[in-house]
Amino acid sequence: MATSKDLPPLDVGFGSIFVKNQFRTKPQYPPSTTDLTGKVALITGANTGLGYEAGKQMLALRLSHLIIAVRSKEKGDAAASKLRSLYPKAKVEVMIVDMSKYNSVQEFVRNVDSKLYRLDIAILNAGVIKLKHATEPSTGHEQILQVNYLSTVLLAILLLPILKKKSPPGTPGRLTVVNAALALTAPLPKPDHGHESIFATLDDPKSFVPNTDKTYNMSKFLGQMFAYKLGEYVSADDVVVNFVCPGYVRGTDLGREASVLIRPAVALFAAVAGRSTRDGASTYLDAALVKGKESHCSFIMSWKVSPFNSFLYTPEGKDTADQVFEETMKELEFADARGILESMKTSAVVFRGQ
């Protein structure tokens, strides 16, 4: 079966893709016989929305140990106690990670590595849409770029050796990163506004169009570029990594910054066109439990391995993916991101970078 890289680019506009995703696709749930007994999974941003629902669905499949990785202990405890009352036999644990801060991501991974004897599945779900430009003071990067791309990629890289060494022998670890079909609408990023770097360009307030999802879409496109490159380093025999779109989902907090003026219109549109969180979260379980090695380093949309943003099939797009990858490695040099990825090519796992 073809991976995203091997598929031909989509030749239809985003409107057709949206209609097909939202109205013409039947949700696919893992077989009810799926048994996660003994398995350990972590989900970032699992206090609410799709992350919470995915945790709930995995517990319903008898997951033994769920780690809710959240930035607010209070919200994490509230979600964990709801899940514990629904599934009292499972262990539900809260761990803290603030995805806007690299040191919090590193601290979280240290905790994961020291506390967990086993890790089968990681779902990197935490994400934001911001409607006004904001800079993360600890890194100087624009917030959406920071949370949705840079810190998510750092966390993915740091978790790879742990998933490789702490999943049972002969069974690859599973890493699912939440992406979005809106990535398909993003243009090819280029250095601009006097900057040589793509990230510096995206950090520049001149690149930010307030009250739109442009930077959000770009952050998810950067994720697809990372997926495109990751296959050069990670074997699906060690960790199956895939990038999944949950579809347009109603009832989550993602649009929390929308002004009160447009909220009624958004709610109406969501009521007509949005998937339920239950159906949306089922895409995570499909990606992390059902899809196999054929989905490695691919983009999954509507429960199906699908093409990336069409620019990734052009020579210019491939060059841009290389540039973004090099900028990412430079940015994450402090954590030895490149060394960790290189170590994934060998059979012995070298765990560094923290």
Residues in the site for ligand NAP, rule: CB under 6 A? 45, 47-51, 71-72, 75, 97-100, 125-128, 147, 178, 180, 245-246, 248-249, 252-254
Q: Quick one: 295 or 302, whose CB is closer to ligand NAP?
A: 302
Cβ distance to ligand NAP smaller for residue 47 or 215: 47
Of 217, 276, 281, the residue nearest 244 (C-alpha): 281
User: Judged by CB, which is closer to ligand NAP: 167, or 242?
Assistant: 242
Dist CA 250 CA 337 (whole Å) = 36
CB of 224 to ligand NAP, least distance (A): 13
130 catalytic? Reply is: no
For 55, counting Cβ atoms within 10 Å of its Cβ (0-12 exposed, 13-18 middle, 19+ buried), the class is buried
Least distance (Å) between residue 72 CB and ligand NAP: 5
CB 257 within 8 A of CB 130: yes
User: In this structure, are residues 27 and 280 in contact, taking their beta carbons and an 8 Å threshold?
Assistant: no
The answer to whether residue 117 is catalytic is no
Q: Give the type of residue at 143.
A: Q
Q: Report the nearest approach of ligand NAP to the CB of residue 51 (Å).
A: 5
Of 216, 228, 248, 284, which is the active-site residue? Answer: 216
Residues of the chain by 3-state class (helix, strand, coil), percent to 5: 45, 15, 40
Q: Which of 39, 220, 229, 291 is catalytic?
A: 220
Residue 193 near residue 280, CB atoms below 8 Å? no
**In the complex, what is the shortest distance from the CB of residue 159 to ligand NAP, in angstroms, rounded to a whole number?**
15
Which is closer to ligand NAP, CB of 147 or CB of 150? 147
3-state secondary structure of 61: coil
- Residue 173's beta-bridge partner residues? 239
**Residues acting as catalytic residues:** 216, 220
